[in-house]
Structure 1
């Protein structure tokens, strides 16, 4: 499919304007993401309609704790990535350059239809970054909206100002991966820049109706200092607001950082305490068993509003309009009168092509 966001240069190359990498390509070359390529003097998206797989997950796994808690979400991704994170936890998909990994083919309408058939409330673009398959994600979002479904972007937020308008203008929720809070971290470990990510966060929070949550993977010795955690928390409080949920998740050795030790649970708990002390109301721990750190509390009276044990909802004290049942203080988020009951199940699904009809098997 012909891609958007590019222009021709005077030296004969074309420049991709989708993300701040600004790849400049000659005929036959691909961008850093590998999936946007120059072909016959234009830029094309090589993965349109192709996926690395589909799975029904709990929405909390994205992670989103304030968006339709307990409901199932149909998740999928493609291949490639526009960052080069040495700590990538999904490297087998995001770093894939072999298109035989893309085994499932589905039109936007087929994905929406499949999500409805299995009872999902939303569709998530995840596993690799939806920024690099923007055209496909936007079309799927339109089909989902037509079918009465929500859409979720799980992204690093590394996108240009013009493209982010289209991307987040059609999303109902997003979890943006704020990988660290220094330019040095982004430059040395991700081959990227921090500033465009911060710009994306501010845009989503203040210029769209998309519900926003943030995840920071804490890596021992790299971005887990108390000073960096405090600076990150203060920026979120001041620029995005105290109701923006923040998830601190545990690193495990992977990709090109196998010699770095896993994140101790105590590090996550300390980061959570620092963020709360700096005025954030909803701070969570992830990739560890920590019921206290994964539950939602009223910022006014301290009552537990949503109890969680990993991805299972264990208690519920929210009113139908998203308020604390004890003191009536509002809780930021997108809630329904009762939570879903999907639990922690993970259900792989396959979309197959039969004639002109995509069906779920």
Structure 2
């Protein structure tokens, strides 16, 4: 399967630069995963596609202010780093710009020396392992010096950094937000639970591997970077109970999807535990746990477009994306949302359309 099979034409002006004032007022494109039928709604209408007994799976990871700007000691050359993942204690795998100024032994100073980092190793794909030294608590210093790591296609300054967090973000560790969750408000989640829909919280710390471009023509040769996940016993039970009783498992975002698919047995039982996942989902993949998916609109030729194509079929997904472009939907992190489901199994059958 060729990477070009997942290309679509996207006008630059449709890339959302700012979050909407009201999280749940974004638009929602509903795609029937079996027939390709489309419905144009608003995000709050997601209530009418849920029903009692379903289980909504959300990723409660929290984005850290992972972008740091410093100077190379001795030369005062400016260096930007992005924290990717904590390897151990104060050693982090990082992305450094410009990399040529960060040889092993280089010391980088941040915040007039409040934080210092020493490059101790050059890792895979040129990433640097940096050991940090400081006085106090690392997270507090990072909160003071760091900036939110917005994707490069967002050029506007974010006024409120909480708008790049979900309202249920809890466990710090991500270099990017699980953006499908940005559409939910606390009130909407309460309404969903009030309908008899259980909410299972899993954690997957989002790295940049999910967003890296596919650099090979044959997508089966693409290698995903590993990301750390946690599934607690009680949360696994919610998913398994819903499945056992005939409810649907609706994942919020590709990260929740990748977590449950990585942590489950071949017969679809979600297992509690922790681990690293490199799962790459593309057409031909058979989903073990997930039934429906709430997601945003993704980049052309990205692994995320491939994932949604595995659920609904490449031609149906690309047709839906073409419709979204035609209807001027907003794309990517701060953009609109998509629900991929079986319309015959939704709450609208029971007259719940609101």
Normalising by the residue count of structure 2, what TM-score does the alignment of the two structures yield?
0.28
Structure number with the bigger relative contact order (C-alpha 8 A, sep ≥ 6) is: 2
Normalising by the residue count of structure 1, what TM-score does the alignment of the two structures yield?
0.28
